[in-house]
């Protein structure tokens, strides 16, 4: 159904960003506009999801050009759900930024860029045109480049160089893949490509193009062996920025893979084997990497990689059940990873360090906040009935159906290592006897902050923790949606029909 309002989440974020630029010097006004804007964006995306749920897939043909000639925007359930999660993460990070981001950074345009990043993310989820997806990816990375370097500390710049180099390389690979795909089919519209690629006789070239897409998206979503930029850069910017990066940026790559490898390239045995092996090694290397780390933000960075592996495993198994598991895990992961990086910021504000060796006694000092943090950590591990459990369960069920025992072994190993890592983190940070830490002059500790800032930081963590509990306890509702999405991914005829109208 044609509906021009589906681009509203994108346009509205642009509007907020522009409004923020007009109040460049007034930082309090910027904070207010950002939070209110994120709230309205959340409302808009809830409405979008409800609309898609009621009336099916919504499309918008830019400029009235009929598909496949113009640029198409498509909101199916997967897109609308991810736009909603982007808005949720955006709201949480915006509120958290009010409390935690230093004025110097706000003066250099932190908030406008944050909203441009969220605009890029929403656009990437909604577009139905492969070249347009490339453009949204570029908007995302240029915004993230600014966010990762804003402040200009030494570690930030060094991390940024690795981040920038790898992301630019990923863009070139993606662009190369688009060029070959256009040469093969003469189309850019994803629904049309789905029909055209099936007709191409030179299957070898199609597989090469698919692998190029896999490499391009693989760098973005940090899968083995392309993830090395992530642990080198995600712990360098302030926690609010790490939170939006950890929660959403790698997930766009996963979304793009889910879309491209179910709609355009239907994986054959070769491609599923490649994806499955990548998934297994991603899980393993992420978990083992996290074992070796002492900095809690680096531990979380490696856990991002490990859990990207779970979603990739769902794609590798390639059945309705496993894809539903991947989608469920994606939902859970966006909420929990955003929250984890905000929590690391919270711990830093109390203690002035990220080092597990130096931290300790947090539970004794702040029992309530510790319990709040425990919710997220337990969800991450996937203790039933919390949110991390259900996605993994579905993926394992799907893998059982296709008798992929090795993959199940790696998923269980990854989950076990995650449990071990979190248990170690808990005992080091929360239960160990506290040590005397030197007071650092340049850090504003939590107790020295204004009440409003304290509340902002806590409120965003509480918000996402409740949401993660909600995903766990309301699993049936999320599961039904995930199953619906997975069915549509396995059989894209509804998507194609909605776009091409035939």
Partner 1 sequence: MELLLVIIIGLLYAAGIYMMLRRSLVKLIIGLILLGNGANLLIFLLGKIVKGEPPIIGPSEKMLGEIYADPVPQALILTAIVISFGLQAFAIILIKRAYKVVKTDDLDEMYATDEDL
- 138 touching partner 1, by CB under 8 A: yes
HSE (side-chain half, CA atoms, 13 Å) at 52 = 30
CB neighbour class for 487 (10 Å; exposed up to 12, middle 13-18, buried from 19): middle
Minimum gap (Å) between residue 228 Cβ and partner 1 = 11
Minimum gap (Å) between residue 70 Cβ and partner 1 = 11
Pick left, alpha or beta for residue 403 (phi over 0 → left; psi -120 to 50 → alpha; otherwise beta).
left
Q: Which stretch binds partner 1 (CB under 8 A): 23-31, 172-180, 275-283, 388-396?
A: 172-180
Among 15, 24, 108, 182, binds partner 1 (CB under 8 A): 182
Nearer to partner 1, 3 or 295 (CB): 295
Alpha carbon separation from 464 to 88, 136, 243, 281 (Å, rounded): 8, 26, 12, 30
HSE (side-chain half, CA atoms, 13 Å) at 113 = 21
Among 3, 19, 23, 171, binds partner 1 (CB under 8 A): 171
**CB neighbour list of residue 166: distance below 8 Å, 6 or more residues apart:** 219, 226, 228, 229
- Give the CA dihedral 432, 437, 442, 446, nearest 10 degrees: 40
Q: Which x/- pattern, by CB under 8 A, does the window 185-204 give for partner 1? A: -x-x----------------
Among 105, 115, 220, 235, binds partner 1 (CB under 8 A): 235
Neighbours of 364 (CB within 10 A): 13
Nearer to partner 1, 2 or 294 (CB): 294
Q: Which stretch binds partner 1 (CB under 8 A): 142-150, 275-283, 391-399, 412-420?
A: 142-150
- 225 touching partner 1, by CB under 8 A: no
- 127 touching partner 1, by CB under 8 A: no
Among 172, 406, 437, 452, binds partner 1 (CB under 8 A): 172
Among 9, 109, 128, 159, binds partner 1 (CB under 8 A): 159
- Give the CA dihedral 139, 143, 144, 146, nearest 10 degrees: 150
> Any idea which residue has 């600014």 for tokens?
146
Q: Which x/- pattern, by CB under 8 A, does the window 283-312 give for partner 1? A: -----------xx-----------------
Rounded-to-integer distance, Cα 116 and Cα 393, Å:
36
Residue pair 401/270 in contact by the 8 Å Cβ criterion: no
Among 5, 131, 350, 420, binds partner 1 (CB under 8 A): 131
Minimum gap (Å) between residue 209 Cβ and partner 1 = 11
Nearer to partner 1, 185 or 418 (CB): 185
Q: Is the peptide bond preceding residue 457 cis, with omega within 30 degrees of 0?
A: no
Minimum gap (Å) between residue 305 Cβ and partner 1 = 16
Residue pair 266/203 in contact by the 8 Å Cβ criterion: no
Q: Which stretch binds partner 1 (CB under 8 A): 27-35, 167-175, 336-344, 458-466?
A: 167-175
Nearer to partner 1, 24 or 145 (CB): 145
Among 119, 178, 411, 496, binds partner 1 (CB under 8 A): 178
Among 4, 152, 367, 385, binds partner 1 (CB under 8 A): 152
Rounded-to-integer distance, Cα 57 and Cα 448, Å:
50
- 354 touching partner 1, by CB under 8 A: yes
Rounded-to-integer distance, Cα 352 and Cα 333, Å:
27
**Closest C-alpha to 97, from 334, 452, 441:** 452
CA angle 373, 118, 105 (to 5 degrees): 75
- 114 touching partner 1, by CB under 8 A: no
> Which residues on adjacent β-strands are paired with residue 129?
189
Among 45, 94, 127, 236, binds partner 1 (CB under 8 A): 236
Q: Which of residues 324-353 bind partner 1 (CB under 8 A)?
A: 353
**Closest C-alpha to 121, from 155, 95, 85:** 85
Among 29, 168, 449, 500, binds partner 1 (CB under 8 A): 168
Among 18, 36, 50, 157, binds partner 1 (CB under 8 A): 157
Among 19, 46, 51, 162, binds partner 1 (CB under 8 A): 162
> Any idea which residue has 């070769």 for tokens?
270
Rounded-to-integer distance, Cα 164 and Cα 158, Å:
10
**Per-residue 3-state assignment (H helix, E strand, C coil) for 106-131:** HHCCHHHHHHHHHHHHHHHHHECEHH
Among 4, 183, 384, 474, binds partner 1 (CB under 8 A): 183
> For binding to partner 1 (CB under 8 A), which residues are involved?
131, 134-135, 138, 141-142, 145-146, 149, 152, 154-155, 157-162, 164-165, 168-169, 171-172, 175-176, 178-180, 182-183, 186, 188, 232-233, 235-236, 294-295, 353-355
């Amino acid at each position: 159904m044609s509906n021009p309002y589906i681009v509203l989440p994108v346009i509205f974020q642009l509007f907020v960003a522009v409004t923020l630029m007009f109040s460049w010097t007034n930082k309090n006004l910027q904070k207010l506009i950002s939070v209110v804007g994120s709230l309205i964006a959340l409302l808009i995306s809830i409405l979008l999801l409800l609309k898609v749920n009621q009336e099916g897939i919504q499309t918008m043909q830019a400029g009235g050009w009929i598909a496949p000639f113009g640029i198409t925007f498509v909101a199916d359930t997967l897109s609308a759900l991810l736009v909603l999660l982007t808005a949720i993460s955006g709201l949480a990070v915006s509120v958290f930024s009010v409390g935690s981001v230093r004025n110097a950074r706000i003066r250099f345009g932190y908030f406008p860029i944050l909203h441009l990043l969220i605009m890029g993310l929403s656009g990437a989820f909604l577009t139905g045109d492969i070249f347009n997806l490339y453009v949204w990816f570029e908007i995302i990375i240029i915004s993230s480049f600014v966010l990762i370097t804003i402040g200009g500390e030494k570690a930030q710049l060094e991390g940024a160089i690795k981040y920038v180099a790898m992301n630019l390389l990923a863009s070139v690979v993606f662009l190369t893949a688009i060029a070959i795909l256009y040469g093969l089919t003469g189309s850019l519209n994803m629904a049309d490509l789905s029909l055209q690629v099936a007709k191409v006789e030179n299957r070898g070239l199609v597989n090469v193009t698919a692998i190029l897409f896999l490499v391009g998206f693989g760098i973005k979503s940090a899968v083995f062996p392309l993830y090395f930029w992530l642990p080198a850069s995600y712990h360098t910017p302030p926690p609010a920025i790490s939170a939006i990066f950890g929660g959403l940026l790698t997930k766009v790559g996963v979304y793009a893979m889910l879309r491209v490898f179910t709609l355009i390239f239907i994986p054959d045995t070769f491609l599923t084997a490649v994806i499955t092996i990548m998934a297994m090694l991603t899980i393993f290397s992420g978990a083992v990497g996290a074992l070796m780390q002492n900095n809690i933000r680096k531990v979380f960075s490696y856990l991002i990689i490990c859990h990207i592996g779970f979603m990739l495993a769902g794609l590798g198994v390639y059945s309705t059940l496993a894809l539903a598991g991947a989608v469920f895990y994606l939902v859970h992961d966006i909420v929990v990873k955003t929250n984890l990086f905000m929590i690391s910021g919270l711990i830093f504000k109390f203690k002035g360090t990220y080092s597990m060796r130096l931290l300790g006694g947090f539970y004794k000092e702040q029992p309530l906040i510790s319990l709040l943090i425990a919710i997220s950590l337990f969800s991450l591990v996937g203790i039933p009935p919390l949110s991390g459990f259900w996605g993994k369960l579905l993926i394992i069920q799907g893998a059982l159906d296709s008798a992929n025992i090795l993959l199940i072994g790696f998923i269980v190993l990854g989950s076990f290592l995650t449990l071990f890592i979190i248990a170690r983190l808990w005992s080091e940070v929360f239960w160990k006897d506290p040590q005397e830490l030197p007071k650092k002059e340049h850090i504003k500790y939590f107790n020295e902050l204004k009440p409003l800032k304290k509340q902002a930081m806590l409120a965003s963590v509480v918000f996402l923790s409740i949401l993660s509990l909600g995903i766990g306890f309301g699993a049936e509702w999320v599961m039904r949606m995930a199953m619906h999405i997975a069915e549509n991914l396995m059989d894209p005829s509804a998507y194609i029909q909605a776009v091409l109208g035939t």
